[in-house]
A and B are shown apart, each in its own frame.
Chain A
Amino acid sequence: AQKITQTQPGMFVQEKEAVTLDCTYDTSDQSYGLFWYKQPSSGEMIFLIYQGSYDEQNATEGRYSLNFQKARKSANLVISASQLGDSAMYFCAMREGGAGKSTFGDGTTLTVKP
C-alpha cells in the first residue's frame, strides 16, 4: 500500500481564492512527521509546512495551513488567497519515527488562474 496518497494529479484555482490539496497517509508508527513541499518548474524543492503526529493544533505558516485529521490519517494543505506564483507542483511527505528518510506522494500540480 502506498504510504502517501495524493489523489489530485492537477488542480485549478482562481487567483485570490483558497484551495485545498489532499493528502492521506498510512503508518503504524505513533511518532511521525508530515511535510509539504512546493516544486516550481525550475525544480527546486521549497519547504512549506510541518505537522507532527503529537501536535494538537493544526500548523500554520502565513498563507499555508495544514488541516490535520489524525483519525482519518489526512494532512491536507490549504493555501489561502492564491497567487499566480503559487502555480507549481506540491508534494506531501511523511517521515516515520526517527528514520531520516521521507516518503513522498505523487504530487499535485496546482495552476492559479488570473
Chain B
Amino acid sequence: GAVVSQHPSRVICKSGTSVKIECRSLDFQATTMFWYRQFPKQSLMLMATSNEGSKATYEQGVEKDKFLINHASLTLSTLTVTSAHPEDSSFYICSARDFPVSNQPQHFGDGTRLSIL
C-alpha cells in the first residue's frame, strides 16, 4: 500500500536552532501534502497544506515565517521550523493522498517528535 516516510523521527536541539523535517511519498505522487501538529493526548491540528510547485496554504494562526514549507517535487515536502523555541516542542506529522478520490484515506508519516531545550 501507499507509504509516506517522515524523517527524522525525533529531534532534540537547542533554542534558536532551525529544524527541517522531510515528508516523502515512497510509491506514489502527491501533489498535495498536509502538515499537522499534535500536543500530547490532543487532536491533530492542521498547520498547512503543501502544494507541489506553489506556495503552501496556511491555516489561520500559523506563522508562515516560522514554519516554512517547501514542496519542490511530487514526492517531497519539507517543513522547517525556524529559530525554534521551547514552545515549538511538539509532535509534527505529515500526510498525503495518492490521488484525488474522496474515499482514499490520507497516508501518514510516522511523525517527528521535536524537543527544544
A residues at B contact (CB < 8 Å): 31-33, 35, 37, 42-45, 47, 50, 52, 89, 91, 95, 97-98, 100-107, 109
Contacts and interface: CB of A to CB of B under 8 A. Distances in A.
A33 B42 CA distance: 22
Contacts of B24: none
A89 B100 CA distance: 27
B60 interface: no
Q: Which 6 A-B pairs have the closest CB atoms?
A: A45-B108, A47-B105, A43-B111, A44-B110, A106-B43, A104-B44
A37 B49 CA distance: 20
Interface of B: 32, 34, 41-44, 46, 49, 91, 93, 95, 97, 100, 102-103, 105-111, 113
A43 B102 contact: no
A89 to B, nearest CB: 7
Contacts of B44: 45, 91, 104
A101 B34 contact: yes
